């Protein structure tokens, strides 16, 4: 099996919704169904933080969310947990700098899985690419309360720096992104945006997701 084509991945990353049960104000299955109805292009199951599910409950929720993704042609990515990604045969995995390096994950999961890596500097981006990452997550762009150990807010500067220094692989901005502040992230060079609370916590999830799809389409990425 082959690595996913970068241009296809750029499309899939446009509106990349991330959540776990702690991010939801109603049943996670319902939240994901509504987000999918609004046109999200990729989904990451991130079951993390105080009160998050573990073991069987985690696996079962993952399975239910994955089913919704598959029924709608939305790739299902698992955050950090390689065992869970393997158990579910997820479409890919997203890892941070403190997690297993992309190189080891690539060897474990094979060529046909999507591997995303969080990068906060040019050096981290270069290393991730050398290790076989398919895309980079760059943030936090704006202040966020969804990640307990978030690094310092960097605005769009790091995205610009990475693009100016010749990093061309698919890239998403993350952290505090809303319908009101999404445009500069794309102008800076991101292919798409990753969002937790602006979608998971929205009054009208479907309309909000649809709003992101529209805003990203306006930037012509
Ligand atoms: N990673 P929200 S910021 C999961 O900077 C995550 O790498 C970040 O949630 C990073 O859209 C973040 O609610 C949280 O701000 C994003």
Catalytic residue among 46, 58, 113, 215: 46
Q: How far is CA 141 from the centre of its chain?
A: 14
Most ligand 1 atoms within 8 A of CB, residue of 42, 140, 157 to mutate: 140
pLDDT in tens, 161-187: 999 999 999 999 999 999 999 999 999
- CB of 94 closer than 6 A to ligand 1? no
The secondary structure of the chain as a DSSP string is: -PPPPHHHHHHHTTEEEEE-GGG-SS-HHHHHHHHHHTT--EEEE---STT---HHHHHHHHHHHHHHHHHTT--EEEES-HHHHHHHT-SEEEE-TTS--HHHHHHHH-TTSEEEEEE-SHHHHHHHHHTT-SEEEE--SS--SS-TT-----TTHHHHHHHHTT--S-EEEESS--TTT-HHHHHTT-SEEEESHHHHT-SSHHHHHHHHHHHHHHTT-
Please confirm, yes or no, whether 118 is among the known catalytic residues: yes
Please confirm, yes or no, whether 25 is among the known catalytic residues: no
Residue nearest ligand 1's atom 16 by CA: 175
- CB of 22 closer than 6 A to ligand 1? no
Ligand 1 centroid–CA 82 distance in Å is 20
Q: What is the pLDDT of residue 220?
A: 62
Most ligand 1 atoms within 8 A of CB, residue of 143, 146, 173, 181 to mutate: 146
Q: What is the pLDDT of residue 1?
A: 64
Which of the residues in the chain have pLDDT under 70? Answer: 1, 220-221
Enter the pTM of the model: 0.97
pLDDT in tens, 177-221: 999 999 999 999 999 999 999 999 999 999 999 999 999 999 864
Q: What is the pLDDT of residue 137?
A: 98
* Structural domains of the chain, ranges and CATH numbers in brackets: 6-219 (3.20.20.70)
Question: 99 among the known binding-site residues?
Answer: yes
Ligand 1 centroid–CA 174 distance in Å is 5
ipTM over 0.90: yes
Q: What is the pLDDT of residue 99?
A: 87
132: left (phi over 0), alpha (psi -120 to 50) or beta: left
Most ligand 1 atoms within 8 A of CB, residue of 136, 196, 199, 205 to mutate: 196
- Rounded Cα distance, 18 and 42, in Å: 8
Q: What is the pLDDT of residue 81?
A: 95
Q: What is the pLDDT of residue 154?
A: 94
Encoding tokens for residue 157?
């500067």
Catalytic residue among 14, 147, 194, 215: 147
- Rounded Cα distance, 93 and 45, in Å: 9
């Amino acid at each position: 099996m082959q690595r996913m084509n970068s241009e296809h991945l750029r499309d899939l990353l446009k509106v990349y919704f991330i959540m776990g049960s702690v991010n939801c104000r109603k049943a996670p299955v319902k939240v994901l169904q509504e987000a999918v109805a609004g046109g999200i292009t990729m989904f990451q199951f991130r079951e993390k933080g105080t009160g998050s599910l573990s073991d069987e409950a985690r696996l079962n929720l993952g399975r239910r969310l994955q089913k919704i993704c598959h029924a709608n042609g939305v790739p299902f990515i698992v955050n950090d947990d390689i065992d869970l990604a393997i158990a579910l045969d997820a479409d890919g995995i997203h890892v941070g700098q403190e997690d297993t390096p992309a190189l080891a994950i690539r060897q474990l999961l094979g060529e046909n899985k999507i591997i995303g890596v969080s990068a906060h500097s040019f050096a981290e981006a270069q290393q991730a690419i050398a290790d076989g990452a398919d895309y980079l997550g760059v943030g936090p762009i704006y202040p966020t309360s969804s990640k307990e150990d978030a690094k310092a807010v960097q605005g769009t500067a790091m995205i610009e720096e990475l693009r100016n220094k010749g990093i061309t692989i698919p890239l998403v901005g993350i952290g505090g992104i809303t319908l009101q502040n999404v445009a500069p992230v794309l102008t800076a060079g991101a292919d798409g945006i990753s969002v937790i609370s602006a979608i998971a916590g929205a009054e009208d999830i479907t309309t909000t997701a649809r709003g992101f799809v529209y805003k990203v389409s306006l930037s012509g990425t």
